[in-house]
Amino acid sequence: MKRRTFIKSLAGIAGAGLLSGLYSWQIEPFWLEFVPLKMPVKNLPEELAGKTLMQISDMHVGDRFDWQFIIDSFEAAKAFNPDIVVYTGDFINKREDILEKEDLQTVFRHAVKGRLATVGVLGNHDYGRAWSEPEVAQKVIGVLEKAGLKILRNESVAIIPGFNILGIDDYWATNFKPELVMPAHRPEMANIVLCHNPDACDLDIWAGYKGWILAGHTHGGQVKPPFLPPPVLPVKNRKYTAGHIDLEDGRQLYINRALGHSFQVRFNVRPEITVFTLEKAL
């Protein structure tokens, strides 16, 4: 290869790398995708058939990226006029963001709320350093409840008679007590479980539950090379990446790719808000 050709080739490679880096840093982390999906639910009350359930996860409000993106995303999501909105954890990125600033309060003045209900569960980041500061979690809850969210901590809530949402507190944090809620689920009713970390699906905690589990936590890995799995996932079970996973025991898992991010980089894993349409399971 001639020297001039070699230099041009290197320049082309460097240019492609620069463009890819800029795309992964400045474009895809803010290129929101609304993902429409059907959610067949066993014993769903007739009046909920066709209603929408919106899942928002992993906002990570803090100083790692411009959280105006979260506000803009919330405002765009409101156009769907969802009936039920669920948030599946990691509202903040680290403890200073809630203890020393009002970022979370500012963002959640724009919270997306459902016409019937707005509920959520906490994630590991909502528990501060080493996921072990319950006082941080309590402050997060205080802000969210003022914004109109009901945070479920190993408890359930009836949206309407015959339809319950159960919320399990974070698997890595200090209040993971699924035994307080799962044995009490009513199989003759419609149920959906919120659980931030999908690794909890592999634990013996489900008390015969058959139905949907909505999770987050993984961010889809944030970076996914074409045709390959993400190189980094914060879960033990590497099949828990993103999207719908049939657990083949009557449970259906959906892992949201996250709205925010811990670090401002995404490639082939766009931020997501999921819009489910409820329907009666056959």
CATH number (domain holding residue 223): 3.60.21.10
**In the predicted model, what is the mean pLDDT of the chain?**
92
| 182 lies in some domain | yes
Residue 7, pLDDT score? 40
Q: pLDDT tens for residues 94-153?
A: 777 666 678 999 999 999 999 999 999 999 999 999 999 999 999 999 999 999 999 999
- Both structure tokens of 115: 């016409």
The rounded distance, in Å, linking the Cα atoms of 111 and 108 is 5
| 25 lies in some domain | no
| 184 lies in some domain | yes
Q: What's the sign of the alpha-carbon dihedral 41, 162, 210, 86?
A: positive
CA nearest 97: which of 151, 144, 140?
140
| 65 lies in some domain | yes
| 204 lies in some domain | yes
Q: pLDDT tens for residues 148-169?
A: 999 999 999 999 999 999 999 9
Domain that includes residue 186, residue range: 31-280
What is the total count of domains within the chain?
1
